[in-house]
């Protein structure tokens, strides 16, 4: 099958590209990827925003009923996102890079968009407020970011749907079986230690993408079922065994096509949490990042005017993390204990 990359997957690829450039000291490349991210997300808004409510051709009452039933099952998952083509963390991350580069106008626009997509995130709201001039960082202060990645996006499964008007026919559609629980992530060890906020719910983006595809999936499969039933009836009426055999072979192919596409990312995080303090005193810090009963110590050293990002992912009981400065190609790459990592 031909595979079309959903917008949320492309946005995640760009986000990880930016992080990769940051953690390998390629600041200019990270800025180039940030500008690409702005262009891509603006393009998605123009491409998908106007067609979000369009209805595919061939929609029947039966199809509408099936779509409504499946959409209700996805409601709890999609509630955490506004659409499937905007990643608020990606918007905010471009703002961080633009601000560190001195391009404040571009940074303010990115911060505003991040807050508009996910207004309940305190980090985004604070930077959007700075963009409006209500909170200006003081000269010589430092900025520290902690990004925590939670679990993985659940695997898509196959749900068999019977077609009542065509006896004996059914088709599969993809579905998500579980709703991911939100971890409580906190950062302590500095003046503004507090709970981190969910920056992007990737599970919600994946569920929204599936919801947007469901009308087309269901209409196509109902149409195939009707064609399959008609062909079988015509072959039976003809009474020719060769015709029946040919139709049977064709129906086997159609049945294979109607199987659900259950491919999904098993390396993307279910959620990304963010904590940020844009007004920290330069110096040495021993932080503690906790998530639902477990924690890990993190040592960071902040220089005046520095923007430093600490990225942490927890897979099972194992913590992975790295720290880097968004301030120049020569900035050291550190592990969570504050020791330099050789590139």
State residue 91's pLDDT score. Answer: 97
What is the pLDDT of the chain when averaged over all its residues? 81
pLDDT number for residue 231:
63
Per-residue pLDDT at 2: 63
Q: pTM of the full predicted structure?
A: 0.81
pLDDT for 132? 81
Q: Which residue has the tokens 């595919």?
A: 56
SS3 189: coil
Residue pair 70/175 in contact (Cβ under 8 Å)? The answer is yes
Neighbour count for residue 228 (Cβ, 10 Å):
22
- Is residue 204 within 8 Å of residue 78, measured between CB atoms? yes
pLDDT for position 294:
87
Pick from 205, 207, 151, 201: which is nearest to 176 by CA?
Answer: 207
Q: How far is CA 337 from the centre of its chain?
A: 29
The tokens 């400065």 sit on which residue? 325
Residues of the chain with pLDDT under 70: 1-3, 50-59, 62, 134-138, 163-169, 178-179, 191-193, 224-225, 227-259, 327-332, 342-343
Q: Residue 221 has what pLDDT? A: 72
Query: What integer pLDDT is reported at residue 329 of this predicted model?
Result: 47
Q: Which letter, b or e, does each residue of 114-145 get, where b requires 16 or more Cβ atoms within 10 Å of its Cβ?
A: bbebbeebbbbbbbbebbeeeeeeeeebbbbb
Confidence at residue 292, expressed as pLDDT on a 0 to 100 scale: 83
């Amino acid at each position: 099958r031909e595979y079309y990359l959903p917008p949320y997957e492309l946005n995640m690829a760009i986000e990880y590209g930016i992080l990769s450039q940051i953690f390998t000291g390629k600041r200019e490349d990270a800025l180039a990827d940030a500008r690409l991210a702005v262009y891509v997300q603006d393009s998605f808004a123009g491409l998908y925003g106007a067609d979000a409510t369009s209805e595919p051709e061939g929609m029947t009452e039966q199809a509408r009923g099936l779509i409504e039933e499946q959409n209700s099952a996805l409601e709890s998952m999609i509630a955490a996102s506004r659409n499937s083509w905007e990643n608020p963390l990606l918007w905010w991350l471009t703002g961080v890079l633009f601000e560190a580069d001195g391009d404040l106008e571009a940074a303010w626009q990115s911060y505003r968009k991040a807050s508009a997509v996910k207004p309940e995130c305190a980090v985004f709201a604070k930077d959007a407020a700075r963009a409006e001039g209500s909170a200006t960082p003081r000269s010589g202060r430092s900025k520290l970011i902690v990004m925590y990645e939670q679990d993985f996006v659940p695997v898509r499964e196959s749900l068999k749907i019977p077609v009542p008007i065509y006896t004996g026919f059914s088709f599969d559609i993809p579905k998500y079986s579980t709703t991911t629980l939100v971890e409580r992530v906190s950062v302590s060890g500095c003046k503004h230690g507090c709970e981190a906020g969910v920056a992007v719910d990737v599970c919600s983006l994946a569920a929204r993408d599936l919801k947007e595809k469901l009308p087309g999936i269901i209409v196509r499969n109902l149409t195939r079922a009707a064609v399959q039933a008609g062909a079988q009836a015509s072959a039976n009426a003809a009474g020719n065994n060769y015709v029946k055999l040919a139709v049977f072979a064709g129906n086997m192919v159609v049945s294979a096509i109607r199987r659900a596409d259950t491919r999904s990312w098993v390396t993307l995080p279910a959620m990304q949490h963010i904590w940020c303090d844009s007004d920290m005193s330069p110096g040495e810090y021993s932080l503690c990042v906790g998530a639902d009963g477990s924690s890990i110590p993190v040592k960071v050293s902040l220089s005046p005017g520095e923007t430093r990002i600490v990225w942490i992912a927890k897979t099972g009981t194992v913590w992975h993390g790295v720290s880097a400065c968004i301030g120049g190609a020569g900035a050291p790459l550190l592990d969570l204990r504050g020791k330099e990592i050789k590139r």
